[in-house]
Structure 1
């Protein structure tokens, strides 16, 4: 039996080798074939935009924008010029001339001068400007991108169509990003505030959500935290905005709350941002930034992040400095904490978490006191001062007293003899902490359920179609009943005369 099994195994391996050898290798696509595929994708997006405009269905526009990330990496000037031929019927169109000017190209197709009077759909017009804007951004020429964005925004503001909201929000995002690359934070702020007022009056949900997010980013970059906080308090952020915009908005709100010492609200905002962000490699930068800030906030709240977070492939290298920081805070080692800050100072400043990390020193000291409270029934203030590397015994006495008052430890201080006496540890299940934790989990589940219900999509005006069908059925029933009463429908009794 063993010999037969080995022969069968060898026969299968030989057959697999033959199949692999006979299988032709996949031919790599030429640049012309790739350009044709990209152009077909763009033309297909034109069809989706027409459906969005004709049916007033925003999900088609959102579908086009979701494919923008994969499309932008394959864009070339020749592809954009070919897309212009398909989008515009005349090379004299204002937007077509604008795109060709900044691409430094000329119209190559004769099909564009068939009907100079034909109008192009505004959604397709803005989409072509958006593709050009993204291409110029990827080229790294900030000056040319700024100039093109200024002229493209003029075209965008000439339209007032709700089917353009998603495309307009994306164009405003790249417009603000171009200004940010040129360090024009204060120059762009009045225009963004004006666009926010206009979008609010027009009930433009997508643009309003995007502009509020851009304003928060602008305020944070210029360190005007009070104005950002006022915008969060007085601004009405739309809940039904795009998920990616909501995630970015929650991230900025979390940063603002963390700076203003509201750590619990900041933690909730960051949890929402991480859960709403796309869990793909394209959103890795955003997820890493959110997790870095969340780790610091958890430490400031007195919690220790789970070790599994630092083992995930997406976060392993990015969170390495923060893992060393967590280890120093967890054991309450003040020298190790200071060494970690000094070692990764540049990385923390680049992430924008350095000032928050400096606040952790008190938490490190409190953790050290908690560890000593658990380890010793009685310990002198002098030993506490030596272990925590404090300046004097008076400082140690003050810090221990504050920890007792804040509920960090259960102990008493003998001021005359100079020692800390630990109390007997109570059973945590006799306190309210399990109920509080259980309540928080239930609250999260209910919120998740409510958000899931809100996110469900229903066809627009479908109820009207159903009502119309019901009314037509009732009309047919009335006509049938009337005909029966009037005797217009003949009986079939004559068919049985011969029986």
Structure 2
């Protein structure tokens, strides 16, 4: 009986083990096709990326043959989309320079899928164009930056600059300009921007002599960013005054230039010019993309507008892409608008590190006087007569003497219309005058007209016309004479018919 039951248990155990083994095999068989599909999908995506980059290379070759820079511009505009598709198999397939493969050796084993081609596609008996070689080298540099391999990126960037400087071809100016930007960016990431300053100055001189407009614009912006990174505002201002920014530069470079110029003018107390430049930077920047640039520019624009004595529109702080970034600046605006010095100090204490990161902390410190002026203006409009001790209590000042000095300065600057009687110890406010009796409305209207005229002039300059196609539809002088002769003959015939109708 025991043997019989033991045999039954053994049979059940063996059947269960067979079932588990079979299910494991089935699970492995089911899992293997999915893994193969993922590999095939990755290979397909890489193949599609390789094909897209090959099409871009054809566009560059076409630009070299036809001397049309618009084909290269089309390729460079798609660089943000291309850099997201860069992988080791893609770059390994495109690279024709053996020295560039050393930068990809660390990632070959991890990123290269099975079945991918390891033979470079651009290797052929024909010589690769310098523009194509520089563009592929630029893609490798971008890949290194995205992977935060900054030391290798510096070496790769130096090799790229040696290639660019050794060639003297006008067809590579646009690609060289983009290479200058990433060369400066790599050294900024490694905290060595001062090492490339002399190189950028030398290339700026060469670009100016060669009328390389895009390269000149990029190099000026890189130098301004270099100077502002080390707070060298005087050198940056001298660079702006001694150089002329090319009018044919792209809108992106114009936006960067206006932003840097706005920062310089704001530090130099030229708030009106700074605000105008920042508005131009926001207008020329991409409206849907470049969110970080728009946030940084809008932060500085809010501070400059507050320094001008104006209050930014509330709608600015409600935009979806700006709401979170401008939240500290919204609290700052409320403190300035209400003239609450204590709230201003609290905001400054809470978000001081953020303001330092945004390079607006020193400008915000200047707003303390504006807060005091606003508070005194509101006090002057609310009270016809008030003592300095009461003003010191409302403003949170240490002594009535400080309030007395602040009132005297506000009266001298024209902030309030009042008189200070020190013997009796009070401030007497005057009746407020009608602002429409002053020149303020005329100045505001003139500012709006100047902005509209400037916008119209820039729109006219930005218009593009097809080259040498304006005269296709125009008739020649001989055709015009024939047409005029036919019109005369037709007029004579019509006159004769009219004469025949009336005997």
What CA deviation, in whole Å up to 9, does each residue of 1:409-466 have, x standing for no partner? Answer: 2222222212222222222222211111111111111111111111112234446x74
| Other-structure match for 1:222 | 230
| Other-structure match for 2:30 | none
Task: Say if 1:34 and 1:295 are closer, same or farther in 2 by CA, change over 3 A.
Answer: same
- Between the aligned partners of 1:123 and 1:344, the Cα distance in structure 2 is 47
| Other-structure match for 2:192 | 184
| Other-structure match for 1:260 | 268
Q: What is the Cα deviation at residue 255 of structure 1?
A: 0.8
Q: How does 1:196-211 map to 2 (within 5 A)?
A: 196-211=204-219
Q: 1:193 aligns with which of 174, 194, 201?
A: 201
- Does residue 307 (structure 1) correspond to residue 307 (structure 2)? The answer is no
- Does residue 145 (structure 1) correspond to residue 153 (structure 2)? The answer is yes
Q: 2:324 aligns with which of 317, 323, 346?
A: 317
* Contact preservation (8 Å) 2:258, 2:281: yes
Aligned length: 437
Q: Tell me the SS of whatever aligns to 2:386.
A: strand
Q: Which runs of 5+ in 1 are unaligned?
A: 1-26, 85-90, 479-499
Give TM-score scaled by structure 2 length. 0.82
What CA deviation, in whole Å up to 9, does each residue of 1:117-173 have, x standing for no partner? Answer: x22233222211111111111010100000000001111112222222221111100
- Between the aligned partners of 1:459 and 1:162, the Cα distance in structure 2 is 22
Task: Say if 1:110 and 1:411 are closer, same or farther in 2 by CA, change over 3 A.
Answer: closer
| Other-structure match for 2:101 | 100
- Between the aligned partners of 2:245 and 2:176, the Cα distance in structure 1 is 17
- Between the aligned partners of 1:371 and 1:144, the Cα distance in structure 2 is 60
Task: Say if 1:114 and 1:208 are closer, same or farther in 2 by CA, change over 3 A.
Answer: closer
* Contact preservation (8 Å) 2:89, 2:118: no
- Between the aligned partners of 2:248 and 2:161, the Cα distance in structure 1 is 25
Larger Rg: 2
Q: Tell me the SS of whatever aligns to 1:30.
A: helix
| Other-structure match for 1:492 | none
| Other-structure match for 2:404 | 397
| Other-structure match for 1:158 | 166
Q: Which runs of 5+ in 2 are unaligned?
A: 1-36, 483-503
- Does residue 407 (structure 1) correspond to residue 403 (structure 2)? The answer is no
- Between the aligned partners of 1:474 and 1:112, the Cα distance in structure 2 is 55
- Does residue 430 (structure 1) correspond to residue 441 (structure 2)? The answer is no
Q: How does 1:2-81 map to 2 (within 5 A)?
A: 30-81=41-92
- Between the aligned partners of 1:440 and 1:247, the Cα distance in structure 2 is 21
* Contact preservation (8 Å) 2:266, 2:274: yes
Q: How does 1:82-481 map to 2 (within 5 A)?
A: 82-84=93-95, 91=96, 96-104=97-105, 108-109=118-119, 114-115=124-125, 118-280=126-288, 282-462=289-469, 466=472
Q: What is the Cα deviation at residue 382 of structure 1?
A: 1.4
**Runs of 4 or more consecutive aligned structure 1 residues displaced over 4 Å after TM superposition:** 110-114
Q: What is the Cα deviation at residue 114 of structure 1?
A: 4.3
* Contact preservation (8 Å) 2:150, 2:190: yes
Q: What is the Cα deviation at residue 74 of structure 1?
A: 1.5
- Between the aligned partners of 2:136 and 2:120, the Cα distance in structure 1 is 19
- Between the aligned partners of 2:245 and 2:431, the Cα distance in structure 1 is 49
Task: Say if 1:142 and 1:129 are closer, same or farther in 2 by CA, change over 3 A.
Answer: same
Q: Tell me the SS of whatever aligns to 2:290.
A: helix
Give TM-score scaled by structure 1 length. 0.83
* Contact preservation (8 Å) 1:185, 1:222: no
* Contact preservation (8 Å) 2:93, 2:122: no
